[in-house]
């Protein structure tokens, strides 16, 4: 069982405020300070320092947070494994693109071999999935967004093209256009925290631009809905080529011929770094993706 003082520490790391930590944990502020002091005495290291009125983690605090987060994950997963010791159980996550366009075939092959394993797959955005891994709600996740490699172990599933698309009726005056030419259009994209959106935002930032440069923005949490809106001529979007392969083939969507935009990104299986279940996750990666029948 994880030390209750460690939960106080992890909350303080997230909020960087003892008063807010006390409120969230329904404790007094002196109790929070006492928990932190006890950990500092135990590890013989300062975990937090004040710079002016702002609380900061020390290097020792950052290191302990990484280890403690993995410990919290492992304890949550171990508890579930012990409850279902007589049969296998996997609780994992997948981002919307991976969950909708890759996992059905992969799970079909996996379940044909592992018929005694219970599976639960949560489909959500990258930010939410990583947070659920950290607190032990998920064993691992398949993500397309960015993650801190210092915090997670991972295996790359595949590398996918990320493209701009428009409705079939949209026309351009030249064979290729620049990204700037799109800023007069309505941009339809996923919600904040989505890996699909984060990739676009980072790419635009590198070009000294942002999504705010587009004429208007429509946020939609469904890839299917985004595609339907673009097909109907309501705007343009950026998605993985695999997610629009059928529409491109049918001609209801067209790839926008950008001269200054070439993007590929990894789809990745991630879990907490240095987890006690590391070897199990590596074996599962082979089980999911090592079969030639999956096409990977």
User: Any idea where the domains of the chain sit in the sequence?
Assistant: 4-57, 72-157+266-294, 159-264
Q: Under CATH, domain 72-157+266-294 is a member of which superfamily?
A: Periplasmic binding protein-like II (3.40.190.10)
Least confident of 47-56, 81-90, 242-251: 81-90
Least confident of 68-77, 96-105, 283-292: 283-292
Would the pLDDT of 6 be above 70? yes
Q: Under CATH, domain 159-264 is a member of which superfamily?
A: Periplasmic binding protein-like II (3.40.190.10)
- Domains 72-157+266-294 and 159-264 in one fold: yes
- Look at residues 137, 144, 155 and name the one whose alpha carbon lies nearest to residue 223: 144
Range list of β-strands (E), 182-244: 186-189, 216-219, 237-240
Q: pLDDT tens digits, residue range 215-251?
A: 999 999 999 999 999 999 999 999 999 999 999 999 9
CA distance 252 to 248: 6
Residue 197's pLDDT is 92
Residue 172, classed as helix, strand or coil, is coil
| Phi, psi dihedrals of residue 75, rounded to the nearest 5° | -65, -40
Q: pLDDT tens digits, residue range 57-67?
A: 999 999 898 88
Would the pLDDT of 293 be above 90? no
Which two three-digit tokens encode residue 281? 């996750």
Kindly report the CATH class assigned to 4-57. mainly alpha
CA distance 114 to 54: 51
Residue 289's pLDDT is 82
Least confident of 75-84, 121-130, 135-144: 75-84
- Look at residues 39, 202, 224, 69 and name the one whose alpha carbon lies nearest to residue 134: 69
Which two three-digit tokens encode residue 199? 């990739």
Residue with tokens 């075939």: 105
Q: How far is CA 228 from CA 51, 269, 276, in A?
A: 51, 29, 44
Q: pLDDT tens digits, residue range 112-124?
A: 877 677 889 999 9
Residue 80's pLDDT is 67
Residue 296's pLDDT is 39
CA distance 208 to 202: 10
């Amino acid at each position: 069982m994880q030390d209750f003082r460690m939960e106080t520490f992890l909350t303080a790391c997230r909020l960087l405020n003892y008063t807010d930590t006390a409120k969230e944990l329904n404790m007094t502020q002196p109790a929070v300070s006492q928990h932190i002091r006890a950990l500092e005495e135990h590890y013989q290291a300062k975990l937090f320092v004040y710079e002016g009125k702002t609380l900061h983690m020390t290097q020792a605090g950052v290191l302990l947070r990484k280890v403690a987060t993995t410990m919290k994950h492992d304890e949550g997963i171990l508890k579930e494994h012990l409850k279902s010791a007589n049969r296998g159980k996997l609780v994992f996550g997948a981002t919307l693109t991976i969950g909708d366009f890759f996992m059905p075939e992969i799970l079909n092959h996996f379940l044909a071999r592992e018929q005694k394993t219970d599976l639960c797959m949560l489909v959500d955005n990258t930010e939410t999935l990583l947070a659920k891994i950290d607190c032990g709600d998920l064993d691992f996740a398949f993500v397309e967004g960015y993650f801190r490699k210092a915090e997670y172990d991972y295996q790359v599933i595949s590398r996918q093209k990320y493209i701009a698309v428009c409705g079939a009726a949209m026309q351009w005056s030249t064979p290729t256009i620049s990204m700037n030419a799109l800023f007069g259009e309505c941009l339809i994209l996923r919600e904040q925290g989505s890996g699909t959106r984060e990739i676009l935002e980072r790419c635009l930032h590198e070009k000294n631009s942002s999504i705010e440069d587009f004429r208007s923005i429509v946020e939609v949490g469904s890839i299917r809905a985004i595609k339907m809106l673009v097909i109907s001529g309501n705007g343009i979007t950026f998605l993985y080529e695999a997610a629009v392969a059928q529409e491109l083939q049918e001609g209801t969507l067209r790839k926008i011929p950008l001269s200054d935009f070439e993007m590929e990104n990894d789809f990745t299986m991630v879990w907490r770094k240095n987890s006690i279940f590391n070897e199990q996750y590596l074996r599962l990666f082979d089980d999911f993706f090592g079969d030639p029948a999956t096409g990977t």
